[in-house]
Amino acid sequence: MVSYEDLTDEQQRAVDALDRNVTLTAGAGTGKTTTLTARYLWMLEDALATADPETLDPDDPPLQPKHIVTTTFTERAANELEESIRTEITDRLAELDPDAFDAWRTIADELEQGYIHTLHGFCARLLREHAFAVDAVDPGFDTLDENEAAALIDDTVGAVLEEYDTHDAMETLAQRFSRDQLRSVVTDLLGERPESIDWADEWADATETEYIDFVETHLHPIDPDVAAAVLADPAVVDAIETLTEIIEQPPDIDTGGRVWKRAAGVVEIIEPGYDDGQSTRAKQALIADLSQHLTTGDGEQYAGYSGAKTNWDGHPRKTAFDNAFETLVDRLCPEEYTVSVDLEVERNSFELVSALAELTLLAAEKYEDRKTQQNAVDFGDLVSYTVEFLQAERNEAVRQELRDRFEYVMVDEFQDTDPRQWDLIKLLTAADPDDFDAENVFVVGDVKQSIYRFRNADVTQFRETADILEAVADEDDQPAVHQDESDGTAADDDQLSTNFRTLPTVLESINQLFETVFEADGDPYEAEPQRLTPARDDPAEVGSVEYLAVPSDPELRAARFEHYPDFADAEPEHDSELEAMALAARLSQLLDKPTQVYPDEGGDDAAESGDGPTRELEADDIAILLRSRTHLKTYERALNDAEIPYSVASGLGFYETTEITALLNLFRALADPSDERALYAALRSPLFGLADDTLARLKRHGEPLWAALGESNHEDLAQVYTLLTRWRRQAGITVSDDDTNEEPDVEAEFSGSWASYLTQIIEETGFFVNISVGDRPQQAIANVEKFREQLRGYSDDDVRSLTTLVNRIERRVSRGGRESEADTTAEGVQILTIHDAKGMEFPFVVVPGIGREFNDKPSLNDQVEFEEINGEHAVGMKAPQPDDPFELTDTMARNTLRDQRRAEERAEEKRVLYVACTRARDHLLLSGLHESDSEADVSSLTELKQATPDDASSWRDWVQPELLTEDVCRALESATRVERAYGDGSYAVSLPTPPIERTPATTAEDPAVELSESPPTPEVTFRLSATDWAALQSEYGELALDTEARTLYVEEVDPDRPDRRHGDESASLQGGPESDANQEESTQAVSDVESNIFGEMVHQLCELRAPEGRWSDIMRQTLAAEEAAVDLTPDLQARVRKHAQRGIEYIQQRAAAADVDQRYDELYVTAEFDRGEIVGYIDHLLVTPSAYHIIDYKTGDVTEDEIADDAAYYVKQMHAYAVALAQQDTTRSVRISLVFTAIDADWTTELEPAKIESIQEGIQRTLLAEVPEESR
């Protein structure tokens, strides 16, 4: 329980400050969650304490969760905070007297309806609460997650590039980008909305003059004010005047020397009025020209600027000349301004920039159209639409109502926000958003931990907001709690600096390192250092910091590492293998020693720990934090070789895991009990764990599984049915009273939280206990928690029916790609990215890759820069040279934006390293590769490549000067480990040493194992393709049983099938053990290409229906995808074109002649039956109000006389498709057309609903009859 008395003074000040704004810097591990929880509770307590007892209504307390807005960065943080608050309120309820109990009970009940959300969750809720007043969205809108939005953007851009293939903008950009590159660039730009749209709006219709004016004003690398000040410097003016006088009235000397010519060049470059101090573009150009003139081609100063004695021959004016020239160079610092400015190159780039802006707007418009059609929004829209809604003048009354309702606003992780979130806060709290005057805002964050620049987080927003809040306090003469880092540290009253996480030795070393790495008076995007104070003690002195230096030079390794032959002689494909080898060896030693750690007593917000007994380090305690996953497999191999167990966080396949599959099936069955496959799977899952012999009791003569379950007298089955029916009622589903099941159940709106709904199911089934007995209990539980967080998001998204919820989840599964599993503390060493580890902590943290080069690629397809500079976003790319249009060169815009990006990325790299280091509780191990100095005479540890902290290209440039000093390197010449004091802490530097052989623990005797009864043999199932079904019915194949998998498959008995001649796909989807051998490749060829390859090219053209000018490219792509060693000859192209033209013409004619609602290409359909399903792809489907029209292309050679026989074979395949469609809508008829493109003929038939029902029953009977007798 959070006790006010147990809070630090810093925490108490933050909790108490309810009558003013607060901007709180919460350092790593300083108890931020505890502080937020305590402040939330104190708001409630204070409101109750100050309320008039006579008028206090316990059922309507003066301050409730609905009056407090709290936004967090992640769903996990929102859940943790809400749970922390709920726990505290529950604890209070147990201790309260009756007079106070009722009010707190009301608060507890209302917490679920409180405004504790992610930013996007809060915006979604606000938009739904005012859906009819928001023009941008329709009520009931869906929210696309990041994966769904990215997929839709990519698909949209691809479609736009095809549609506008001949557009002027496309033709312009084709000179610079390939189609794939352009698709990636535009896709990335749409990912930068809304900033990219603002940029595109500005430049799509701009003139070249406007663009050049913008470049010179905003993107010139030399600040015009600086240029004017430098040129107006009296010392510079005097020097130039002296040189001018001497050059224009030369003394009697030899003026052919190089220095004289350089001075003469200065005089020639200087223009009148250069020294007037006025900021102009001319001075930018002037100082650039002077700097280019006064430096070498590499931008360095010349060796000297004094005249040669032999040329001056003792002339008395040499001293004045030399002094003037040297003063000019010294004050001008030309190496800082050696920039090449060629406005002709900028003009050449304008056409590209304008075209890219125009194409971006076309793609953005199409993307908006697609979202509108789907009634969907993405995360960016949620914030933008909410801000626009509240900014609209007609909604002033709504804004006033919200401002009155929300008495407090708290924002967590504010360092990772963007300006739009601050705009939203102002709209919710200030009487006039343009003149902020609110006094109820609490923002907490830590600039040092801002690591989400790639998600458009603006690290400068935290300081800007602090300045605004401080200004309000100054105006009101309040002792505000505000940010003040002018002296390089946070002010004493606005920070949490007591660290509960890390042992003193480790924390003091981190403090010392980042006192140097961070900049106290740097640019706005630089973090300032904050010295944290350790709260923990270390009586056993177990804390440690170590740097593992890994030399990569082969000569140095061979000479210095005789003690470690494998390392000395290694010939890695990449140097990262050396570091991984050395690191794994070091971990094997630490686990063997063993190293000591303190037991975890609650983590970040726990009371002081470290006084208790220590324990031995285990592999589970260690976390390897990677900057990226680039070399993940290298570390996995090294750990395997060292026999160290490990797990990788965020593995793929979240929705395929046993525990999530079980929950998905349960939700499917609850929404639709007639989904017998889902219901049966849920009953057998760890949710209920019913055995097959128990479920066998439900097998009755054709009775639905759900009905049989409801009528069962078996105790376990009856109990499960009771739970399921109750959960359905709680979800708002009212069961129909119609015993015939012809009347559907009625689904009302669900008013609760889906996350809480899942919690109840978990508790009532003992699900966590059940999945904990598996081989991955921690991962399974973490996955369920992640699923619960997703459900919370759906509640925020106002999903209020179980059917809608299931549909949303199904769409996420199908469109979102393979989502990663939840982060967890699984068995063995944990490998995860630093971003995944944000908010986590570990007893032993390893940060490898200290020497790895930073990524230095532009944000758009690694080619085009897109950055904000001087308050404006801009694009920078290469452009044609003025004298050679085929040679691309950097523009000034690209160079300036690149420099800005690099500066901001370097600042973030410092913060990423800080976040990684501050995850450590007891031990911190850094490791890095080190090259030898290329100019060194001998390979030695004292001759390593020098660091360049001011121009860092890796973390090594900041770490090496601090930890791998010259004296340490000298000591390592004869030792493999050196220890040094460091600030108030200490650290060790070690070299790679051999691993310890790890012997798996064995037990004296094997435990007795009691075998369970053999489970009953599962029933036979099938999953056939539609072509399998046709082959089976036409006696080209026969049904066979895979006895191990208990599945049926079609075994080919006659290879001369029509689909082989027509190039159709015929592989079974569920083959038997010999299926690969039975599925020989077709050898039937159409001239010089196999029939299936020919057919695939025709199908691709018919499906894409691209402009004919693109057809050759599509054919080539198809051949490449099919790995066909075939030349695309003109004759082959002509044949493919003829077939495709006939197919496309046919479908266009049929579409034009019908009232078409929808059209689909390559539509995947499933016809479901009792024992399985038949699946396949429909080439083209037209959907009209009354019918489905299946169109299937047949591309093989055929005569008029053969059509009837071929159709008799194919219609069986089409029957399966008709059944699949009828299962979606039983009222539509189905028309089937087989288009034989070789002779431009078709065969058509039509099936009425009654006929399709008869076909379905016939397929069912036939398949069951084909099941072998012993398998029924």
Tokens of 133: 């007043």
DSSP classification of residue 479: -
List Cβ neighbours of 814 (8 Å cut-off, separation of 6 or more): none
Give the C-alpha separation, 923 to 842, whole Å: 9
Q: Residue 1062: helix, strand or coil by DSSP?
A: coil
Instruction: Tell the residue number behind the tokens 């699946």, with chain if given.
Output: 1175
The phi-psi region of residue 373 (left if phi > 0; otherwise alpha if psi is between -120 and 50; otherwise beta) is alpha
Helix (H), strand (E) counts: the chain: 47, 36
CA angle 792, 794, 800 (to 5 degrees): 110
Give the C-alpha separation, 148 to 133, whole Å: 27
Instruction: Reply yes or no: is the peptide bond before residue 62 cis, omega within 30 of 0.
Output: no
Q: Residue 932: helix, strand or coil by DSSP?
A: strand
Q: Amino acid identity of 1062?
A: H
State which H helix or E strand residue 159 sits in: helix 146-163
Give the C-alpha separation, 697 to 483, whole Å: 69
List Cβ neighbours of 9 (8 Å cut-off, separation of 6 or more): none
Helix axes 504-517, 892-917, angle to 10 degrees: 170
List Cβ neighbours of 563 (8 Å cut-off, separation of 6 or more): 976, 993, 994
CB atoms within 10 A of CB 1018: 11
Q: Amino acid identity of 109?
A: D
Residue ranges of the binding site for ATP: 26-33
Tokens of 1035: 């006696």
User: Do β-strands 920-930 and 977-982 pair in parallel, antiparallel, or remain unpaired?
Assistant: unpaired
Q: How would you class 271 by CB atoms within 10 Å of its CB: exposed for 0-12, middle for 13-18, buried for 19 or more?
A: exposed
Give the C-alpha separation, 38 to 494, whole Å: 16
Give the C-alpha separation, 1094 to 1118, whole Å: 10
Cα 475 vs. chain centroid, distance in angstroms? Answer: 42
CB atoms within 10 A of CB 1127: 9
Q: Amino acid identity of 536?
A: R
Listed in sequence order, the DSSP H helices in 294-342 are 309-312, 318-332
Residue ranges of the binding site: 26-33
Q: Residue 924: helix, strand or coil by DSSP?
A: strand
Tokens of 760: 């109840």
Instruction: Tell the residue number behind the tokens 């494909």, with chain if given.
Output: 573
CB atoms within 10 A of CB 751: 8
Tokens of 970: 């000298």
Give the C-alpha separation, 778 to 588, whole Å: 24
Please, what sign has the CA dihedral across residues 55, 56, 57, 62?
Answer: positive
> For the chain, first and last CA: distance in Å?
61
CB atoms within 10 A of CB 953: 16
Q: What backbone phi and psi angles, to 5 degrees, belong to 883?
A: -95, 0
Give the C-alpha separation, 590 to 594, whole Å: 6
Give the C-alpha separation, 1214 to 1209, whole Å: 9
Q: Write the DSSP assignment of 733-761 as a string of letters.
A: EEPP--TTS-SPPEE----S-HHHHHHHH
